[in-house]
Amino acid sequence: MEPSSSTKGFFQAHPTVPSQLQEDAVFRRIISLHLPSPTPTEALEDLSRFSNLVLSRRVLAHGADAERNLPYLRPLTTFGVENKQDPLVTSEGWRSLQDIGISEGIVGLGYIFNDGVRWNNRSYQFIKYHLWTGSAAMVTCPSAMTDGAARLLGKYTNTENGVIFAEARRRLISRDPTIAWTSGQWMTERKGGSDVRGTETVAQRISAHDQARDDVDANGVLLGPWKIDGFKWFSSATDANMTILLAKTGPQGQVSAFYAPLRRKVKGGVDGETELNGIRIQRLKNKLGTKTLPTAELELKGMRGYLIGQEGKGVKEISTLLNITRVYNMAGAVGNWGRGLAISRSFARVRAISGKLLTNIPAHVRALAQEHVKYSANMHLVYLVVALLGISEGQDSSNTQAAQASIIPQSNEQAMALLRLLTPMAKAQTALRSIKGLRACMENLGGVGYLENEDPMLNIARIFRDTCVLSIWEGTTDVMADDVVRVMKGRDGQACSAAVQSWVEHALQVAIKHGFVPEAQKLKGLWEGWANDTKTKDGERLRWEGRKYMATLERIVCGCLLILDATRDNDPVSREIARRWIQPQAELYDSWKVETAWDKKIVFGGDESATARL
């Protein structure tokens, strides 16, 4: 299909896709909801600057370079000797994006922002992350594991090895690229997959006599007293500075968690020469997407590390890390989806077919509107979970409109129940929704959407294939459904259900008060059915139907969120989005032309904005 003259002009002029801060109405509502009210000037200035930076030629060029020059191995030296020092080669673009993410605080903002203002640091961190993920060429994957490692090690800074853990944590959350670290997360093995209890890697404590004084890591810190041997089958962030991993210990083969640096000083080496810490990179994975990310099969032989927490408690310890990385997973999903929709809106303003812009073709705008409704619902879901994560860490959301609108629960008990139940559901549903949504975004651009690397700014194909991993990484959809069932059938299931029911019932009261009567009745019926089934059906039956129950829970919670958001200011478009999400099949309009007018408002904010901008 030959591009129209207006589309050619789009490419020739290379205008930037309007930043999501400017044009994404859903994103702006998230900012107003979850940052302190009124929104601090310094936050808006930082987000405005960053929204332009992520679409700058420099950043997009780094991403293109990372895609063009993929990581590779050079396992042998010139003379055929095993290359233990630097077998992995990554691109300049990849390393530059890593440094930008570090300096912008993609991890660090979760821990430090502004002591003079009461912040939920997690909310601000992930709002900024939303802008970053579409441009970051998957450096966000090590960011997620780095954040999780920082959170886990932070629990043990007052223990026997606390000084070592504290120094590692200091580097993990640093915004100085010259000292900052990234972390890997090595759990998956050939036998186990998502079941970490299938770990076959073994760790043995070595005697003090066998711990030589010159056994030190790249920074001169004594290597840990545990020797780890095994094989990790799917290990991302192979270029990291450290890793968190699982291994079996003791005669019973209990699974334990370990911290280990990736590099150690070469004995007898010169000028601080270093090598890998008992690691041999067997090969890099050839994947559908996330190709810029060095994911490897690793043989561990004599890797030295430190035990985290108690022996045999590794699965429990690693859950701290997983809770963080699953939030990154869901935030990355809606971030990529938001970028795809931003490109779709921009393209629709300049692409003409038979003399009509796509913005004036009702069928095209209708499809876009349907995606924007789903995107809006999932954005509200993700940023509720983000806020709850911050609250679980002792951060403050009381000075936000989300708290005033009762989106944020009033009690910590209720907040923790929602966090525990919603995290696996949101991880699963946002992944599935974003994959489908980005496929639709590719179609919105026609043949252009199918192209790879023709223009980094328009490369939805790359974003799509990278997003496909999100339904797998950190647990597949069925694994997440199993987690939801485990919550509802566990010892705290009744208390959790009661806390969630209280939150839902309050939202329904608000809905009725503000004219959402049919919608409240629909949600009430869905909730009563969900609560009754999860109470009366046995666990195996619920797992068999797990996907259905997660989808229903998503519809209930997102419906409540959309109503609570819309009623705080009675924004007509937000009210319309809430109605469509809750009753997608209902006859809500007197004529299709009325529906078409609402479609355009949902996508473009009004007819006046849906015009060519070249």
Measure the CA–CA gap between 291 and 293, rounded to whole angstroms. Answer: 5
pLDDT of res. 19: 76
Using 50, 70 and 90 to split pLDDT, how confident is the model at 12?
Answer: very low
Measure the CA–CA gap between 430 and 514, rounded to whole angstroms. Answer: 28
Measure the CA–CA gap between 42 and 48, rounded to whole angstroms. Answer: 10
DSSP state of 15: P
Mean pLDDT throughout 217-230?
96
Mean pLDDT throughout 568-587?
93
pLDDT of res. 229: 98
Q: Which residue has the higher pLDDT, 3 or 384?
A: 384
pLDDT of res. 610: 43
Question: Rounded to 5 degrees, what are φ and ψ at 274?
Answer: -125, 165
Using 50, 70 and 90 to split pLDDT, how confident is the model at 323?
Answer: very high
For tokens 């009563």, the residue is: 528
Whether the CB-CB separation of 247 and 224 falls below 8 Å is answered with no
Measure the CA–CA gap between 553 and 427, rounded to whole angstroms. Answer: 13
Chain segment 438-488, per-residue pLDDT in tens = 999 999 999 999 998 678 888 999 999 999 999 999 999 999 999 999 999
pLDDT of res. 114: 59
Measure the CA–CA gap between 156 and 382, rounded to whole angstroms. Answer: 29
DSSP state of 221: P
pLDDT of res. 116: 61
pLDDT of res. 15: 43
Measure the CA–CA gap between 245 and 327, rounded to whole angstroms. Answer: 20
Mean pLDDT of the chain: 92
For tokens 């944020």, the residue is: 408
Residue 492: its H or E element: none
Measure the CA–CA gap between 552 and 567, rounded to whole angstroms. Answer: 23
* Cross-strand partners of 260: 243
Q: Is the pLDDT of residue 209 over 90?
A: no
Question: Rounded to 5 degrees, what are φ and ψ at 365?
Answer: -65, -35
Measure the CA–CA gap between 567 and 387, rounded to whole angstroms. Answer: 20
Chain segment 261-304, per-residue pLDDT in tens = 999 999 888 888 999 999 999 999 999 999 999 999 999 999 99
Q: Which residues contact 258 (CB under 8 A, 6 or more apart)?
A: 203, 224, 226, 228, 244, 245, 246, 247, 305, 306, 307, 308
> What does the block give as tokens for 199?
């770990």
Mean pLDDT throughout 140-167?
97
* Cross-strand partners of 217: 264
Q: Is the pLDDT of residue 587 over 50?
A: yes
DSSP state of 606: S
Instruction: Give which of 325, 308, 297, 389 is closest to 145, Cα–Cα.
Output: 325
CA 230, 231, 236, 238 torsion-angle sign? positive
Q: Which residues contact 19 (CB under 8 A, 6 or more apart)?
A: 48, 51, 52, 54, 55, 131, 342
Out of 75-89, 296-310, 598-612, give the one with best mean pLDDT.
296-310
For tokens 């090595």, the residue is: 186
Mean pLDDT throughout 390-400?
94
Residues of the chain with CATH 2.40.110.20: 182-314
Whether the CB-CB separation of 339 and 130 falls below 8 Å is answered with no
Q: CA 87: distance to chain centroid?
A: 29
Q: Is the pLDDT of residue 213 over 90?
A: no
pLDDT of res. 483: 96
User: Which letter, b or e, does each residue of 314-324 get, where b requires 16 or more Cβ atoms within 10 Å of its Cβ?
Assistant: bbebbebbbbb
pLDDT of res. 198: 78
Q: Is the pLDDT of residue 28 over 80?
A: yes
Q: Is the pLDDT of residue 13 over 60?
A: no
User: C-alpha distances in angstroms, 585 versus 100, 189, 599?
Assistant: 45, 44, 15
Q: Is the pLDDT of residue 519 over 70?
A: yes
Q: Is the pLDDT of residue 344 over 90?
A: yes
Q: Is the pLDDT of residue 43 over 50?
A: yes
Q: Is the pLDDT of residue 364 over 50?
A: yes
Measure the CA–CA gap between 17 and 74, rounded to whole angstroms. Answer: 39
Using 50, 70 and 90 to split pLDDT, how confident is the model at 177?
Answer: very high
Mean pLDDT throughout 147-163?
97
Mean pLDDT throughout 102-116?
86
Whether the CB-CB separation of 561 and 384 falls below 8 Å is answered with yes
DSSP 18-37: PPHHHH-HHHHHHHHHHSBS
Least confident of 72-81, 84-93, 206-215: 206-215
Mean pLDDT throughout 550-577?
97
Q: Is the pLDDT of residue 4 over 70?
A: no
Measure the CA–CA gap between 240 and 382, rounded to whole angstroms. Answer: 27
What secondary structure, in 3-state letters, does 168-207 show? HHHHHCCCCCCCCCCEEEECCCCCCCCCHHHCCCEEEECC
Q: What percent of the chain has pLDDT over 90?
A: 83
* Cross-strand partners of 242: 183, 261
Q: Is the pLDDT of residue 106 over 50?
A: yes
pLDDT of res. 571: 96
Instruction: Give which of 379, 374, 371 is closest to 123, Cα–Cα.
Output: 379
Q: Is the pLDDT of residue 423 over 50?
A: yes
Using DSSP's 3-state secondary structure scheme, residue 526 falls into: helix
- Does 2.40.110.20 match the CATH number of domain 182-314? yes
Chain segment 126-147, per-residue pLDDT in tens = 999 999 999 999 999 999 999 9
Question: Rounded to 5 degrees, what are φ and ψ at 355?
Answer: 80, 5
Q: Which residue has the higher pLDDT, 413 or 430?
A: 430
Whether the CB-CB separation of 601 and 576 falls below 8 Å is answered with yes
